[in-house]
């Protein structure tokens, strides 16, 4: 659902839907947005979406801020036989031989408005004419570009109006639900998912006017997830130093307090084995962390464990007895919808009472 702000904006989920529609007519699109929110990652997901549809797809990610005009047009050389100056074909752009291998190729011109005006002028020809010099884009190539806004205080150059008019322009906003869907599918650390499910505003706190070097973005929270996945041998203060390096000191201290509580939670494996029935904390963010960790364990169990059905039954019993309705719905939705877990429902003693109480809420989710 779109929201009216000073500039009409879309979520990354909406962007993927619109992009695949626009690509049917090979209409170029430009994605605007602040740093670290997942603009580049989205086009990798679009490529994968084509593959899930049974198509062959390839993504070419060109960081134009690092390119010279000759990288697009080709390097000039003198052809002695023809007595003419010619241009070598650009190596990173798709040729007909590559095009024959795929149903669709996405040419992603990232940081386009961070490129020099001369490089932008070369890109203008490519976008406008689907050709530059004697080079022509194969028919199955679609074009997308992205860049930061002038207000983000990055290195940008004003885009020429003729070039801007060749694009469909989308401004992307940070959306927690979109990020959460991505996070659980990619097994972002449960402590990160649990904390941000409670403190949603801490997912993104970029302020272009601030002098802070580190700030919270979906990208920097991924760094945090990677950092805390293996911190054996580090004190909590040392872990907080590393977390603050990614998201800033203020949020890092709040996250430390969250981890101190979640670190005292029971082992998810013991819960799924039926060894632990009760939870002795009312801390909301810790409960969200535990819910996420249980879902991760369940996914692994259904991938590899012949006793997974019993574990799912214990999961249903535990979340119903210990969690608030919102968390119960979240846990069941992640397990059943996001991960596609399919237990043998007729063998679950806790399934009927669970569906009777939460079935409609899960359908709405």
Q: How far apart are the C-alpha atoms of 52 and 203, rounded to whole Å?
A: 29
* Residue carrying the six token digits 């570009």: 145
Condensed to tens digits (0 to 9), the pLDDT of residues 204-231 reads 998 877 778 899 999 999 999 999 999 9
Q: Identify the burial level of 200 via C-beta atoms within 10 angstroms of its C-beta, where 0-12 means exposed, 13-18 middle and 19 or more buried.
A: middle
Q: How far apart are the C-alpha atoms of 347 and 353, rounded to whole Å?
A: 13
How confident is the model over 57-64, as a mean pLDDT? 93
Residue 148: per-residue pLDDT: 83
CA atoms within 13 A on the CB side of 100: 2
- The answer to whether the CB of 205 falls within 8 A of the CB of 251 is yes
Residue 153: per-residue pLDDT: 63
Q: How far apart are the C-alpha atoms of 319 and 304, rounded to whole Å?
A: 23
Condensed to tens digits (0 to 9), the pLDDT of residues 46-57 reads 999 999 999 999
* Residue carrying the six token digits 């205080």: 153
- The answer to whether the CB of 19 falls within 8 A of the CB of 10 is no
Residue 164: per-residue pLDDT: 84
Q: Can you count the helices (H) and strands (E) in the chain?
A: 16, 10
Q: Which residues contact 118 (CB under 8 A, 6 or more apart)?
A: 68, 69
The alpha helices in 100-248, defined as continuous H runs, are 117-129, 161-164, 176-185, 190-198, 218-228, 236-247
Identify the weakest region by mean pLDDT among 168-177, 246-255, 296-305. 296-305
Distance of alpha carbon 157 from the chain centroid:
26
Q: Looking at residue 207, what DSSP letter applies?
A: -
Q: What angle do CA 344, 348, 353 make, to 5 degrees?
A: 130
Overall pTM surpassing 0.85 (yes/no): no
Residue 155: per-residue pLDDT: 60
Identify the weakest region by mean pLDDT among 62-71, 78-87, 236-245. 78-87
């Amino acid at each position: 659902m779109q929201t009216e702000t000073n500039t009409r904006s879309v979520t990354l989920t909406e962007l993927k839907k619109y992009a695949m529609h626009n690509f049917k007519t090979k209409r170029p699109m430009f994605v605007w947005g602040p740093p670290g929110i997942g603009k580049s990652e989205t086009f990798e997901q679009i490529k994968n979406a084509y593959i899930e549809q049974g198509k062959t797809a390839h993504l070419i990610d060109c960081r134009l801020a690092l390119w010279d005009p000759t990288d697009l047009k080709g390097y000039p050389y003198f052809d002695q036989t023809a007595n003419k100056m010619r241009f070598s074909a650009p190596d990173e752009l798709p040729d007909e031989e590559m095009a024959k291998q795929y149903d669709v190729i996405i040419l992603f011109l990232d940081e386009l408005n961070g490129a020099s005006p001369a490089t932008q002028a070369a890109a203008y020809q490519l976008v406008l004419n689907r050709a530059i010099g004697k080079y022509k884009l194969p028919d199955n190539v679609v074009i997308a570009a992205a860049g930061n806004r002038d207000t983000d205080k990055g290195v940008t150059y004003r885009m020429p109006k003729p070039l801007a008019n060749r694009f469909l322009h989308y401004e992307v906003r940070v959306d927690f639900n979109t990020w959460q869907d991505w996070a659980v599918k990619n097994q972002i650390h449960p402590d990160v998912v649990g904390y941000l499910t409670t403190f949603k505003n801490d997912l993104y706190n970029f302020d272009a006017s601030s002098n802070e070097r580190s700030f919270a973005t979906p990208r920097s929270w991924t760094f945090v997830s990677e950092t805390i996945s293996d911190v054996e041998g580090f004190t909590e203060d040392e872990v907080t130093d590393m977390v603050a390096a990614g998201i800033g000191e203020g949020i890092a201290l709040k996250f430390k307090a969250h981890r101190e509580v979640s670190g005292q939670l029971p082992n998810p494996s013991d819960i799924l084995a039926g060894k632990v029935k009760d939870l002795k904390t009312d801390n909301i963010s810790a409960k969200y962390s535990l819910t996420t960790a249980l879902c991760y364990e369940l996914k692994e169990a259904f991938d590899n464990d012949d006793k997974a059905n019993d574990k799912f039954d214990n999961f249903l019993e535990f979340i119903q007895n210990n969690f608030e309705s919102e968390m119960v719905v979240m846990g069941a939705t992640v397990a059943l919808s996001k991960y596609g877990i399919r237990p043998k429902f007729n063998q679950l003693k806790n399934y009927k009472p669970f569906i009777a109480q939460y079935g409609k809420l899960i359908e709405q989710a």
